[in-house]
Structure 1
Amino acid sequence: MNAAPTPRAAGGCGSATCQCAGEAAASAAAPAAVPAINGITLLAAGERLDPDGLRERAWGELLRQEAVRQGLLPRHPELSAPALTASDQQAIQQLLDEAVPIRMPDDEECRRWYEANRARFIEGRQAHVRHILFAVTDGVDVHALVRRAEQALLELTRKDAPPARFGELARELSNCPSGADGGDLGWITPEDCAPELTQELFDLHEPRQGLGLHPRLVHSRYGFHIVEVLGRKQGRQLAYDQVREGVAAELAQRSRATALHQYIRLLAGQALVEGIDLEGATTPLVQ
């Protein structure tokens, strides 16, 4: 008769020499690492922050420590991150101004960007729009919401759909207050819209195109929209010389934002980061 099998150790493979059960138990019992930057903890005892708030504090502590290293701030005697004072923030701003100076684009860069984005420099553009909003809120079944929106859009695209049907569906289904008016938003400008709608309604169309019911749902930060453009006012194209200063300022801001992001990720890559994922950079700052 064969010997009875040796009972498996709880959580392990059952081998007499196996240590996986003990390792698993130790791993399960190990507390989560305290969020810290180079040994300086980011949270006071009992304090909690949401992930974005904790990440923002970590970036601030990274910059504060770099300002200390460069002699712009005195050393902090405690092992927990201090709240940044106005003088701390001023020193950090000095650090950033020296590490990532503003680079103004030349005229060729500005002109090239203007030509590639001419639609952004049309003054007086307007569109008469109505929409049906299917809002994405906490707990909503997004797949079911999209299916309902697509069913409504399909109904409106049928050749036999009565003209009044859009307004009826807007009053029945739309989560926007405009639903009470059949979804009518009136005459709107690019500045009146969420960026996603501005791109869809104004930036993706030639001046004399884009009237009628959009053949697909438009996705914005608010949810899914069925959109119909009832009319357009084309506006007037601004000349390059009229917008050159604004173009230069925007390009400089974009360039510096990218460089600042690279710089702070470089600091993260050089630091001992515990208990928080900052995805530190491993490549040098690109000026």
Structure 2
Amino acid sequence: MAHHPLFPDLVVNGQAVPQALVAAETQHHPAPKGKPGIAWRKAANAMAIRTLLLQEADRRGIIADPAQLAPGRHETDDEARIRALLEAAVTVTRPSEDEIRAEWARDPDRFRAPPLWEVSHILCACDPRDDAASAAAQARALDLTRQALADPAGFARLAATASDCGSKSAGGALGQLGPGDTVPEFESALRALAERQITPEPVLTRHGWHVIRMDGLARGRVLPYETVRDRLADAIEKLAWARAARQFVAQLVDEARINGADLGPA
């Protein structure tokens, strides 16, 4: 690729980074349509940091020992060396009991047992991949939504006559549900509903279009400190590690000579 002001050559501490590597990295950096320069700059910044980390790993004599990420999938040598470098260079202490308790006390309401939802629905079944069938089922679900909102007390009767789900025999009642009991799109709709509320728009899942009513809602109780302590300690430590890793990278950037990237103060 010829040198171009939008796509400058990237040079890190005298080491030129091939333009093909920066170009390959651009796929991970979204940019507005017709603005390739923005994606290029983001990619150049990412490649500059990656190059700096690998140079520092070389300086410290770190050798790759790729870990298995999943069955049949291992880290690349570069990923393994960067991980080993950060493990060696970035250390944080485990938070103290006082720090953990102070973080918990900031808002204990964040830590609750799972909610319980008492739910009814009307299903207009279709295969969402079939555009014509999905459009027809959506139109029917929109009409049923209008009827349900006009007469909320008649929801069970409407479900009994119109629903394509076996729950129609119980007036659409699905009983008590908790997180993870339904498909993600259905659960997402439940989380947005108040008690006695009906979804204002039909909800699409792999089963078809749903009109959903929240019959009852029980928020999970606030969990005691002892129950959440270890999870909270892990989260505080992870946050501190991420902050320290950013500082380590910022220090490498400060000490480096970089052309073709725009790494301002971190």
TM-score scaled by structure 1?
Answer: 0.49
Unaligned runs of 5+ in 1: 1-29, 75-83, 172-178, 274-279
TM-aligned CA distance change 1:226 to 1:264, over 3 Å: farther
Task: Report deviation, 1:243.
Answer: 1.1
Residue number in structure 2 paired with 1:166: 159
- Please tell me whether the aligned partners of residues 111 and 240 of structure 1 are also in contact (alpha carbons under 8 angstroms): yes
Percent sequence identity over aligned pairs: 18
Amino acid at match of 1:129: V
Residue number in structure 1 paired with 2:118: 128
2:157, 2:9 → 1: CA distance?
58
Equivalent of residue 187 in structure 1, options 176, 186, 192:
176
1:138, 1:113 → 2: CA distance?
46
Residue number in structure 2 paired with 1:38: 17
Equivalent of residue 100 in structure 2, options 89, 103, 107:
107
- Residue 94 of structure 1 pairs with residue 84 of structure 2: yes
Unaligned runs of 5+ in 2: 11-15, 31-38, 63-73
Task: Report deviation, 1:283.
Answer: 3.6
TM-aligned CA distance change 1:103 to 1:136, over 3 Å: farther
Task: Report deviation, 1:92.
Answer: 0.8
Amino acid at match of 2:113: I
Larger radius of gyration: 1
Between Structure 1 and Structure 2, the one with more helix by share is 2
Task: Report deviation, 1:239.
Answer: 0.8
Residue number in structure 2 paired with 1:8: none
TM-aligned CA distance change 1:251 to 1:59, over 3 Å: farther
**Alignment root-mean-square deviation, CA:** 5.5
- Please tell me whether the aligned partners of residues 202 and 210 of structure 2 are also in contact (alpha carbons under 8 angstroms): yes
Task: Report deviation, 1:101.
Answer: 4.5
TM-score scaled by structure 2?
Answer: 0.52
Structure 1 residues 55-102: Cα deviation after superposition (integer angstroms, max 9, x where no partner) = 9x989855542233212569xxxxxxxxx9654333211233356545
Structure 1 residues 136-168: Cα deviation after superposition (integer angstroms, max 9, x where no partner) = 967969999987755432221112745231355
- Residue 282 of structure 1 pairs with residue 264 of structure 2: yes
2:113, 2:143 → 1: CA distance?
36
More displaced stretch, 86-95 vs 180-189? 180-189
TM-aligned CA distance change 1:261 to 1:131, over 3 Å: farther
